[in-house]
Homo-oligomer: A and B are copies of this chain.
Amino acid sequence: MAGSDKEIEDCTRLCLDCYRSCQQTASQHCLEAGGEHVEPGHFRLMLACAEICRSAAHTMLIGIEQHGRICAACAEICRACAESCAGLDGMAECEEACKRCAQACERMA
């Protein structure tokens, strides 16, 4: 399995942090802000990033050898989401969570 127990535990935590940040920011900040914040491409990335982070964490909690492939997909979507958040008001924390999660997932991949 890719990654030591400690690395997997850290990655799981960062995935859940990113999931929480994307889901909450999309639902509670972006929907209230409107405009660019609900532009379809951006909002879909926020929802998809929340989902794949949640699922990557789930797979590491189960504990299978193939988690690296899911982490690779997760990292790619986190990078795209971070880019999509950059420059939008009130998204700095979410952007940071995406970058931290991407980094940890890239080490698993």
Indicate if the CB atoms of B52 and A59 lie closer than 8 Å. Answer: yes
CA distance A47 to B64 in the complex (A): 10
Indicate if the CB atoms of B62 and A66 lie closer than 8 Å. Answer: no
Indicate if the CB atoms of B44 and A62 lie closer than 8 Å. Answer: yes
Contact with B along A60-77 (1 / 0, CB 8 A): 011110100110110011
Stoichiometry (number of copies): 4
Indicate if the CB atoms of B27 and A16 lie closer than 8 Å. Answer: no
A48: contacting residue among B51, B66, B77, CB under 8 A = B66
In the assembled complex, how far is the CB of residue A63 from the closest CB belonging to chain B, in whole angstroms?
5
Q: Is the interface of A mostly helix, strand, loop or mixed?
A: helix
Chain A residues in the interface with B (C-beta under 8 A)? 12, 16, 20, 23-24, 27-28, 31-32, 34, 38, 40, 43-45, 47-48, 51-52, 54-55, 57-59, 61-64, 66, 69-70, 72-73, 76-77, 80
Listed A/B pairs (19) with beta-carbon separation below 8 Å = A24-B61, A27-B44, A27-B47, A27-B62, A31-B38, A32-B40, A38-B38, A44-B63, A47-B62, A51-B58, A52-B59, A52-B70, A54-B54, A66-B73, A66-B76, A66-B77, A69-B76, A70-B77, A72-B73
